[in-house]
Amino acid sequence: MASEYIPAKVWTIDTETGGTWASINRPTAGARHEQALPVGEHPLQLYSMGTPNGQKVTIMLEELLALGMTDAQYNAHLIRIGDGDQFSSGFVAVNPNSKIPALVDTSVNPPINVFESGHILLYLAEKFGCLLPKDQATKAVAMNWLFWLQGSAPYLGGGFGHFYAYAPEKFEYPINRFTMETKRQLHLLDEYLAENHYLAGDEYSIADIATWPWYGNLVLGNLYDAAEFLDVESYPNLLRWAREVSDRHAVQRGRIVNKSWGEEWEQVLERHSADDIDQALAKQPK
């Protein structure tokens, strides 16, 4: 039986914690090396990686382009978080929190830096007047679920995902603790989607765009290889929603941008024109 961990009176780090992200985790913020960010030709510059949080923004941008918003053209630059690109001086100047995604709107002078994925979705929705309900009551519902996602996903990612998939050792207590919360969240979504087509009711919105990369990917078997473990078939309404959102053309395009793993056809390391995505999707097996 392992000995009980007794926290020190003043915490200091004297050994690596282990696990997938041990090499980049530190108890201090700020830049760790000097490096400017690349800047492309389009109005919007995105610095990201194709994780669920990164997918939120690329799906949003592809949805805007599908709606004919030509000013939503963007350059998506890959930030390899495992290599510490998010700690460059250029990235920290855009997002002092050193987390992807980060967006720079160069269509205005001076350019506007936007960070936190939920805020980026809201910023783009308000900028282009799309994908956020106009009716005050329905907008409030969409915002309820957007903020729910921003608060709940860390329990799925940093909680369940970390201890189930990434931690150097599998411990019963944290896995059970965060599995319980994850299943509660899945049940919540399933119950709600039994009565609502989308998260804001009948209207597809940024609430769906924010939520699908986490909970849609999870129940579709694309996240943590945990679909069987979580018995996702017991959430039929959530699965219906996840599959329907997955079938959207913009979602299929946005989810592969800044992705550096998986099948060849779903790896678009950087996006500088629509052709970058088109060429990748053309390789998809029929």
92's enclosing H/E stretch is helix 89-94
184's enclosing H/E stretch is helix 172-193
Which amino acid, 4? E
pTM: 0.96
> What is the three-class DSSP state of 199?
coil
Low-confidence ranges of the chain (pLDDT < 50): none
pLDDT tens digit sequence for 226-246: 999 999 999 999 999 999 999
What pLDDT is attached to residue 286?
82
**Cα angle: 125, vertex 129, 133; to 5 degrees:** 80
Of the candidates 74, 70, 93, 49, the one whose C-alpha atom is nearest the C-alpha of residue 267 is 49
What pLDDT is attached to residue 2?
62
What pLDDT is attached to residue 4?
86
